[in-house]
Amino acid sequence: LNKLVMYMYFSFLYPVVEVNFYINIERNLFKGWQIEHGKQYINQEEAEKRFQIFSKSLKTIKEFNNRVDRTWEMGLNEFSDRTFEEFASIRLMMPQNCSATKGNHVSLGFEPPAQINCLEKGNFVTAVKNQGSCGSCWTFSTTGCLESATAIHKEGNPLVSLSEQQLVDCAQAFNDHGCNGGLPSQAFEYIHYNKGLMTEADYPYQGVDGKCHFVASKASAFVKQIVNITKGNEDGIKEAVGLLNPVSIAFDVAKDFRHYKSGVYSSTLCGNKASEVNHAVLAVGYGYTSNGQDYWLVKNSWGPQWGINGYFKIERGSNMCGLADCASYPVIV
């Protein structure tokens, strides 16, 4: 009888000990993560709430990374203590309906290279920036594209960081909405008709909607023509990136994407309609993995700590998450 009682006692005790052991590990991991990302909370109640969300994120990441069919890896990052809804409210824009379904990109008549990385071609891409808590990704996609196009095609190859804040403050007449979203194609239209975009140094980023204070004499980059690539035409994007310059694209960010760490992202959770895009980015290259999986190399605007030093790879050839429905680039003056 005593042996039976002891067995029953330990059979109940061990699971509790095991659960507490893993909770302690998670709490220590959470503390280290807080230090790494400079996270501080207003009180213990908020800290506990964030730990519980962090714990769920950790579980999602572990379960996903244990899958044998995955092509990419999840990892902890600065968003791991936020729900997707909270994350979306500070990093994504309201869904934008792409109007450019039939493009004016004309084939150049040359075969683009099998793979390319504009980061390796020269000093043609500015450092990864951070949009902060403003749905202004479309401005970073726009400036990134114009920065690169100017550096590649303008005499002297000047790579200058351009002003996202000017677009946030000044482009409303072109159906762009500051921190609530917009589209690069419309931002290029604004720059064209406005006759220029100022530099980051002259019109620095604030990350909030503000009053327009564009100074024409300080305009640094100019757009002669806006080129839209026909909806769904990834071959057109490949030709433009491979033979001309990086291309602004937009896609639908689903809840799994915020955990992206490395590999070639693909998902069954995202939408693929032009009316569903909620994040604009910059395609700076393309290639294929050792096992033959095609991908786009994309510059994001969530800082260099996210993903692959601020970049990510996404499946190419299937219009993954609608990435080929809003592609555009400028012809510079």
Q: Which domain holds residue 8?
A: 1-70
CATH of the domain at 168: 3.90.70.10
Per-residue pLDDT for the chain (333 aa), expressed as one digit of tens each?
Answer: 454 444 444 445 545 445 555 668 899 999 999 999 999 999 999 999 999 999 999 999 999 999 999 999 999 999 999 999 999 999 999 888 776 556 788 788 889 999 999 999 999 999 999 999 999 999 999 999 999 999 999 999 999 999 999 999 999 999 999 999 999 999 999 999 999 999 999 999 999 999 999 999 999 999 999 999 989 999 999 999 999 999 999 999 999 999 999 999 999 999 887 778 999 999 999 999 999 999 999 999 999 999 999 999 999 999 999 999 999 999 998
Residue of 259, 270, 279, 326 with catalytic role: 279
Active site residue 259: no
Considering its fold, how many domains does the chain have in total? 2
| Same-domain check for residues 53 and 94 | no
Pairing of strands 116-117, 294-299: unpaired
| Same-domain check for residues 261 and 186 | yes
Distance CA(133)–CA(302), nearest Å, equals: 10
| Same-domain check for residues 161 and 310 | yes
Final residue of a domain: which of 38, 70, 102?
70
Predicted local confidence at residue 96, as pLDDT: 85
**What's the start-to-end Cα distance of the chain, in Å?**
91
| Same-domain check for residues 133 and 7 | no
**How long is the chain?**
333
Predicted local confidence at residue 99, as pLDDT: 61
Residue 292 lies in a domain: yes
Contact call for residues 332 and 149 (beta carbons, < 8 A): yes
Residue of 98, 134, 137, 321 with catalytic role: 137
Residue of 98, 194, 300, 326 with catalytic role: 300
Determine how many CB atoms are found less than 10 A away from the CB of residue 64: 14
Active site residue 279: yes
Predicted local confidence at residue 7, as pLDDT: 41
Residue 77 lies in a domain: no
Determine how many CB atoms are found less than 10 A away from the CB of residue 99: 13
Predicted local confidence at residue 8, as pLDDT: 44
pTM of the model as a whole: 0.91
Active site residue 321: no
- Run of H or E including 254: none
Residue 246 lies in a domain: yes
| Same-domain check for residues 163 and 283 | yes
Residue 323 lies in a domain: yes
| Same-domain check for residues 106 and 40 | no
